[in-house]
């Protein structure tokens, strides 16, 4: 067992210094102890852990990156989850369409189990409940943004916008652009933006030739700024998008 407020700095920041001390000193608080679960890269039987958390809030990703996929009517969509994201139990008994949900750790990943006992311990700390609700809302907003990205008619634009979307959570500013270290396969990218895998491979090759989006191992690099890319995507006709992206100047020039 570990103290949740030590595992999750953002949750701890919901309290001032006196509040954090009070949580740690309370008989049921002790920093809100939780069980942690670890996973190596690969397929995850996350349903078992979510069932163990029920009817508590679920699982928090302490560190690492997880991909969740949903297969419906022979089409797959995907979402990436990382540090601080809250994963709930997903009841599907009343759905008209049967969906198959899959989970995969892309990197070594650690979770905090927020189960019934946690709910009871946290009952006296409404700031925690409010913070968890906001995280659910943040995840929904990110998914809605990803849906809007997937609706872009030009595949090159979808990929560039997706990378900026992911960079908001995992990216690091570098001279002339942004770096992003994520083990993204062409297949996973196709699921994230609603495209066919061969088309994604061709679009990535075009963007690499233009220098807009390059890759070395798991390290991706976006050249330029999101403002430049959005402006160019808005103005360029579909047939010239890849070529026009070459004109982007690095940040600060």
- Predicted pLDDT at 247: 32
Report the distance separating Cα 252 and Cα 250, nearest Å: 6
> CB neighbours of 102 closer than 8 A, spacing ≥ 6?
43, 68, 69, 70, 71
- Predicted pLDDT at 143: 95
**For residue 238, how many other CB atoms are within 10 A of its CB?**
12
- Predicted pLDDT at 89: 77
> CB neighbours of 36 closer than 8 A, spacing ≥ 6?
2, 7, 62, 110, 111, 112, 113
Instruction: Say which CATH superfamily domain 2-148 falls into.
Output: Jelly Rolls (2.60.120.10)
153-247: what fold? Arc Repressor Mutant, subunit A (1.10.10)
Sheet with 177-181, edge to edge strand ranges:
171-174, 177-181, 219-223, 213-216
- Predicted pLDDT at 70: 93
Q: Closest Cα to residue 50, out of 81, 90, 77?
A: 90
Instruction: Give the mean pLDDT per block of 10 residues along the chain (253 residues).
Output: 88 86 67 90 93 93 96 94 90 69 96 93 87 93 95 92 95 92 97 97 94 95 87 58 34 32
- Predicted pLDDT at 58: 94
- Predicted pLDDT at 40: 97
What ranges do the domains of the chain cover?
2-148, 153-247
């Amino acid at each position: 067992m570990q103290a949740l407020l030590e595992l999750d700095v953002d949750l701890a920041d919901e309290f001032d210094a006196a509040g954090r001390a009070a949580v740690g000193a309370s008989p049921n608080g002790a920093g809100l102890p939780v069980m942690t679960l670890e996973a190596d890269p690969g397929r995850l039987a996350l349903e078992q852990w979510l069932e163990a958390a029920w009817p508590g809030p679920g699982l928090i990703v302490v560190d690492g990156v997880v991909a969740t996929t949903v297969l419906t009517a022979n089409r797959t969509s995907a979402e990436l989850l990382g540090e601080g994201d809250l994963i709930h139990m997903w009841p599907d008994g009343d759905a008209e369409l049967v969906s198959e949900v899959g989970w995969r750790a892309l990197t070594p990943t650690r979770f905090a189990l927020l189960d019934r006992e946690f709910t009871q311990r946290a009952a006296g700390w409404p700031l925690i409940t409010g913070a968890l609700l906001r995280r659910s809302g943040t995840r929904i907003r990110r998914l809605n943004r990803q849906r809007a990205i997937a609706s872009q008619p030009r595949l090159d634009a979808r990929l560039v916008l997706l990378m900026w979307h992911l960079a908001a959570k995992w990216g690091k500013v570098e001279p002339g652009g942004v770096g992003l270290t994520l083990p993204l396969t062409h297949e996973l990218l196709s699921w994230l933006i609603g495209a066919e895998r061969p088309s994604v491979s061709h679009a990535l090759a075009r963007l690499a030739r233009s220098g807009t989006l390059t890759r070395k191992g798991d390290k991706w690099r976006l050249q330029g700024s999101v403002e430049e890319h959005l402006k160019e995507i808005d103005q360029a006709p579909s047939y010239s998008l890849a070529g026009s992206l070459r004109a982007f100047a690095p940040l600060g020039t």
